[in-house]
Structure 1
Amino acid sequence: MALKITVIGTGYLGATHAAAMAELGFEVLGLDVVPEKIEMLSAGRVPMYEPGLEDLLRKHVAGIEGSSGRLRFTTSWEEIGAFGDVHFVCVNTPQKHGEYACDMSYVESAFDSLAPQLGRAALVVGKSTVPVGSAERLARRLTELAPAGGEVELAWNPEFLREGFAVQDTLHPDRIVVGTGSERAEKVLREVYATPVGEGSPFIVTDFPTAELVKTAANSFLATKISFINAMAEVCEAAGGDVVKLAEAIGYDERIGRKFLRAGIGFGGGCLPKDIRAFMARAGELGADQALTFLREVDSINMRRRGHMVELAREAVGGDSSFLGKRVAVLGATFKPDSDDVRDSPALNVAGQIHLQGGQVTVYDPKGMDNARRLFPTLGYAGSALEAVRGADVVLHLTEWREFRELDPEELGGAVTRRLILDGRNALDPAVWRGAGWTYRAMGRPRA
């Protein structure tokens, strides 16, 4: 009999996973405790912007004309327990308020609500990013609370989704990591992921602690690489070097690679910042804090880039102690392109700092405007890049959307007060902008 799958938590991770499991041919039931979210998903709409996700959802949600009908959503834990053979837990694990540590309350609540509904053999699969050691504890909790007792097993299957590529990363993952000590659990998950494994995705079986560490180790490595090139940008500025050429040169070394070597205002979003901080906190609890002290500097370099961009902007508009009377255009609000996610966005952080120092800031982003308004309602917002730069004393390019790379510098030049642009992502072509009469500056690069 074909496996039936449930997905608990239908945010960015859960909604994508549910739609992808339906695409792989499974009957899927998704659960969330927010009725409005369930209503939206049941109508084939997603509560976030993720390329390709809404189309995939509509292809499978029951009740939509032409769909496979394999995907439904509910708020009922009883229905979830009765329906599923495999239960994927995809709830959020944010940073605790005022601490580095991870907030496990959503995960624990999901397990406490699910377990009493499991009256027959089932596999619960954690996908949320959790501190190492959590899976062992949650496995014991399942056995204690589930009526089926030891017939309910746990596996940990960390996610490695990139926002903007989440559908592709779920259907065609570059690796599948499964933490379990059970042959049955491994067999079930090999069945779940048979299609991508058949296409060549590596299937790596580990113990619980290793599976939990893989995600935080991967994110810590990526964060370190970004902060490294940003540290090199600081040195380049002091020495008169060009960090873009430096990154190109070292990137040809296969041991280093070219990805994640673009200097700029640093990383943000809902994963990298909170994951490296939670990793440091957990290492301290385990008595291994010295092993991760370097991550404090990684975090510090990253946050320092935002302040440095504010200083560059202040210098650009006259070098006074404040931005009073200055109009600043900010192109970009999301933490990365192809997303509407503004969580811990460096772009919005810079915009907010300038606004607090007296600047008249106008922001434009192709997809993140609604979320940005909710987070920073006092900033100005425009409906297009051209509208945002109108009358600006300086333009800040802070999220590397394709739309911004394809802007016509001549057209924008006719709208600004001064043709002065600061490229916070080193993604624009300096020759093109300078050729149109703009003063172009970027972090870690010569001024001319």
Structure 2
Amino acid sequence: MEPQDPLPPDVQLRLDAEWDRVTQQLHTLAEAHERLQELLAAVLAISGELELPVVLRRIVTTAMDLVGARYGALGVLDEEHTGLSEFIPVGITDQELAAMADVGQPRGRGLLGHLIHHPEPLRTENIPDHPHAAGFPPGHPPMRTLLGVAISVRGEIYGDLYLADRLDGRPFGAEDEAVVLALAGAAGVAIDKARLFEQVRAGAEQFQRLLLPHLPDLRPFTAAAIYRPATAPGLLGGDWYDAVLLPDNACATVVGDVVGHDMHAAAAMAQTRNMLRALLYDRCTPPSSVLTQLDRTLHAITEDPVATACLARIEPGDDAWTLRWSSAGHLPPLLISPDGRTEYLHAEPGLPLGVDASQPRPDHARPLPAGATVVFFTDGLVEHPHYSIDTSLRLLADTAAAHAGLPLDALCQTLADHHPGDGHDDMAILAVRTPPHA
């Protein structure tokens, strides 16, 4: 086969130029596709968060990654939209933050204020040369280029996103602005979702607390209780506690946990607690009998889910007190002696409520000296996926022993603050202390 004649030089030049143009277009399309993929991943990352502080910081770090910025910040507008109520900087070192400690939070002046009052996208290649620049406070790292866009939530300006100094030294371009604007749109949706979640969770927590009782006057005993909602996105819980003085001068205490994390669980908790209080007043019988009657009543007239509970009576004696308790599948109480020693009152737990009302539950008894403390709690205080239940119970007992001399309110607060659980479940703690003298 004879070799082909070479193309004329001018034709070859045109073909080479066309090839370069097509290659450049393909390269540009590939970059655009890659950036689109990065933007989609960024939107998904932001929209997957529910905690508002986490969402706000994630917006800044994501925008910085998308355009390769060295610094970023998000300013949240105050209610009057005249300044900033919150400012979240990213990229500034701890030393730089310490150097600006006396300056305080930005008040929304200069270029920050310009974007507040003129929420159109703002790009500048040299910050000090901008007519609205007000300079940097002492200790502030120098910044040259700026890209700022407003973030709207439900049509109202929520705040402004600021990016400064690309890592490659180039000024921010139109493509950077387009990408950050697209991210700001997704950020507005994510912020709205996080705010709605906070409102729902706050309302649910308030509803849950309204269902729980204020402890009555239990003299001569002292008592304290605390409830903590789950940190995980469970809206409601079924944990409850109660304590009441009975006509026979015994102090009745109960802590329980209805299975579930929804409105039904909270309603079932309230119904179970109220029914149990009525049974306690009506029957001066051992705790096991009260639990059995409660189980039968719940089975007959409700469709409540399974629940665990520990019911106890602290009964007066001639020179001491006696703790009598019965458990419906619940964790054992923790006894703290007057000298600070701790002991779990392990005993046969019995079946949870709602499993088999015909099965009896045993009663247990233990003498209590003057000044003894009994702590009842739900499993949210100690459950952790990385610890065995025995390890968590030991950690809780160690914390209780180290703070045994505290007043009961402070003791419950400490146990809740330093709990060995992972926070995925709500928790309730009830502590009762016998008088210092028999």
Shorter-normalised TM range: under 0.3
Higher share in strand: 2
Structure 1 length as normaliser, TM-score?
Answer: 0.25
Give the TM-score, by structure 2 length.
Answer: 0.25
Q: Which has the higher helix share?
A: 1
